[in-house]
Amino acid sequence: MHDHEHELEYDDDDCGCNEEIPAAEVGQPVADFSLKVYDPVEGFFGEMDMEKIQEAGKWTILFFYPADFTFVCPTELADLATKHDELVKLGFEVFSVSTDTEFAHLAWRTTEKLLENVKFKMAADPTGKVSRYFGVYDEESGLALRGTFIINPDGIMVSKEVNFYNVGRNADELLRKCQANVHLRANPAEACPAKWVPGGQTLTPSEKLVGHVYEAMKK
């Protein structure tokens, strides 16, 4: 577990955020934070705690989306659900996150048939504090953009993707990126080229590779 430089804390005035806390950035430690969740497997409300996840040596996926009871969102969560078991085997904790409450998550999960296979915890960020921290909060609408963040067991953000409201994501590509990051954590001297999949060829950066990637990829 890494030593956190700060916890995610906020003032109650104005927009509700403490301007002194920097936004989450790729390659940097994320702040400690917690969110209430609805657990569709256990059927109860609970809490996700970033610090406890890292103490357990887990990777984390935060899958922000605009709102429950909308249109593209259930297709995304259903798609993510098809990869959930594989992500768990890789050591990931998966959380969908929106600015709805955990109570709305329960109602949506119960009524929307597309979500019947969703097993990951559904986190609630009704104040938008965590969404602001990750740079996906839309102040005009009060909703979160489609943001996907991968955080390693040391609490370092290693990947982020942000889409506007009208473009859904692809869980196949998310799984591929997770596989690549797990591989690189175990093999830090390597790098994964475009479209790398498990078992595929990697690159070992060195002065000999400069200007000769083509030849290396042909081996």
- pLDDT score recorded for residue 6: 55
- CATH code linked to domain 34-186: 3.40.30.10
- pLDDT score recorded for residue 3: 45
Q: Tens of pLDDT along 174-213?
A: 999 999 999 999 999 999 999 999 999 999 999 989 998 9
Catalytic residue among 17, 73, 178, 192: 73
Residues 6 or more apart from 138 whose CB is under 8 A from it? 144, 145
Q: Which regions in the chain score pLDDT beneath 70?
A: 1-21
The residues spanned by each domain of the chain are 34-186, 189-219
Four-CA torsion 185, 191, 194, 195, nearest 10 degrees: -40
- pLDDT score recorded for residue 7: 64
Query: What SS3 string covers the chain?
Result: CCCCCCECCCCCCCCCCCCCCCCCCCCCECCECEEEEEECCCCEEEEEEHHHHHHCCCEEEEEECCCCCCCHHHHHHHHHHCCHHHHHHCCEEEEEEECCCHHHHHHHHHHCHHHCCCCCEEEECCCCHHHHHCCCEECCCCEECEEEEEECCCCEEEEEEEECCCCCCCHHHHHHHHHHHHHHHHCCCCECCCCCCCCCCCECCCHHHCCCHHHHHCC
- pLDDT score recorded for residue 175: 98
- pLDDT score recorded for residue 93: 98
- pLDDT score recorded for residue 135: 97
178 in catalytic set = no
